A and B are shown apart, each in its own frame.
Chain A
């Protein structure tokens, strides 16, 4: 039986989806840029509240996870199923570590009374309110992408295990990895903008 497959088309579809995601976050970056311009002093004060160390740690975690995701494709191309499973597994574990850090980071903020709609936040300057609003929304939307990425990569792992993803047909792994690199790509811009530039 002849098999009908278009791997280039599959990857192109994934890239087009990634473009829409980039423009979604791109719009948010634009909102951030305008408000930062308008309330630079407030943004300066508010950004000091963020924990740059946790931000940096999460950057390292995501970069390593992106590398393991990329290497899993090399492993499957070479027919090394076991290594591919390990590499995707490490990627998912790294994603979990990212979430743990985010839990402590947000938990600490909420403990201090800084969360959307809190009394403390409403008493702050307009610019600080906007900064924390953008911080929670952008990192929150990013965390949502992390969770979706973990689900996608888990499905990919199951399919590698059942060998429906193999050295002759691995476009699903490629697309899963592409999604994961998108999550990394967004964080590469979020980290300096929110945590470093004060």
Chain B
């Protein structure tokens, strides 16, 4: 009976999740080290880029976006696009008023 089965058969191994965790902890360590160097505007850029990478890793593996049907990916992309537009438009308004 197909109906009684969970509609997602893919099983992510424990080892994958542990590797992802080690990667995330490593990136946290890198962020703390880099921000401790006081490199001015560069620090902000690096910290934000690493945060985005970590966010991407969490969404892809921990939240299983990798194994979802493509529609989930389009939705996430749409929301990120919307938020980017909100940031850009707000800063244009702020910078040129």
Contacts and interface: CB of A to CB of B under 8 A. Distances in A.
A188 B63 contact: no
Given A26-B83, A192-B51, A171 B6 contact: yes
Contacts of B24: 63
Nearest to A53: B32
The 5 closest A-B pairs by CB, nearest first: A67-B21, A7-B7, A196-B35, A192-B47, A70-B62
B62 A66 contact: yes
Contacts of A5: 3, 7
Given A77-B11, A168-B5, A30 B62 contact: no
Contact of A3 (B3, B11, B32): B3
A7 B6 CA distance: 7
Interface of B: 3-8, 11-14, 17-18, 20-21, 24-25, 28, 31-32, 35, 43-44, 47-48, 50-51, 54-55, 58-59, 61-64, 68-69, 71-72, 75-76, 79, 82-83, 86-87, 90-91, 94
Interface in A25-63: 26, 30, 33-34, 37, 52, 56, 59-60, 63
A189 to B, nearest CB: 5
A197 interface: yes
Contacts of A6: 7
Contacts of B55: 185, 188-189
B69 to A, nearest CB: 6
Main secondary structure of the interface of B (DSSP, over half): helix
B6 A66 contact: no
Nearest to B93: A34
Interface size class of A (residues with CB under 8 A): 35 or more
Contacts of A96: none
B28 A63 contact: yes
Contacts of A59: 28
B51 A170 contact: no
Given A15-B75, A178-B63, A63 B83 contact: no
A108 interface: no
Nearest to B36: A196
B47 A197 contact: yes
Given A19-B79, A56-B32, A70 B54 contact: no
B60 to A, nearest CB: 11
B17 A34 contact: no
Contacts of B14: 71, 74
Contact of A67 (B11, B17, B28, B64): B17
Contacts of A188: 51, 54-55, 58
Given A8-B69, A197-B35, A74 B4 contact: no
